[in-house]
């Protein structure tokens, strides 16, 4: 099994593979691709009897890759953003698990 990868490492990997192409496409075009991939994930989740576990995993990976690309194009470090918002638990009540009513 491969070593675990941080969110930042994944974002940098996606940048090294696709940044030139994604940068040429621009933020708006990249956002459209992200939305398309989210749609494919939605279909896969809605039809678990028609989708293999491998295909579902691929759809999640595609969404994460396009989200990473869009974050890179807009100058957002996903790991930092996630830590800032959720590092202390629920953003509203700050507990884990959330105890909001």
Domain ranges of the chain: 7-86
Mean pLDDT, residues 72-81 taken together: 98
- Whole-structure pTM value: 0.90
Q: How confident is the model at residue 101, as a pLDDT? A: 80
Band of pLDDT at residue 48, cut at 50, 70 and 90: confident
Please report how many Cα atoms fall inside a 13 Å half-sphere around the Cα of residue 100, on the Cβ side.
7
Averaged pLDDT, 35-59:
93
- What is the enclosing helix (H) or strand (E) of 99? none
- Supply 21's token pair: 């192409």
The overall average pLDDT reported for the chain is 95
CATH architecture of the domain formed by 7-86: Orthogonal Bundle (1.10)
């Amino acid at each position: 099994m491969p070593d675990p990868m941080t969110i930042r490492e994944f974002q940098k990997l996606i940048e090294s593979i696709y940044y030139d192409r994604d940068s040429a496409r621009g933020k708006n075009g990249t956002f459209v691709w992200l939305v398309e991939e989210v749609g494919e994930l939605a279909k896969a989740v809605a039809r678990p009897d028609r989708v293999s576990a491998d295909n579902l995993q691929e759809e999640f990976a595609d969404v994460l890759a396009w989200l990473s690309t869009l974050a890179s194009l807009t100058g957002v470090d996903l790991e930092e953003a996630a830590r800032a918002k959720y590092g202390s638990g629920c953003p509203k009540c700050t507990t884990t698990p959330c105890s909001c009513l």
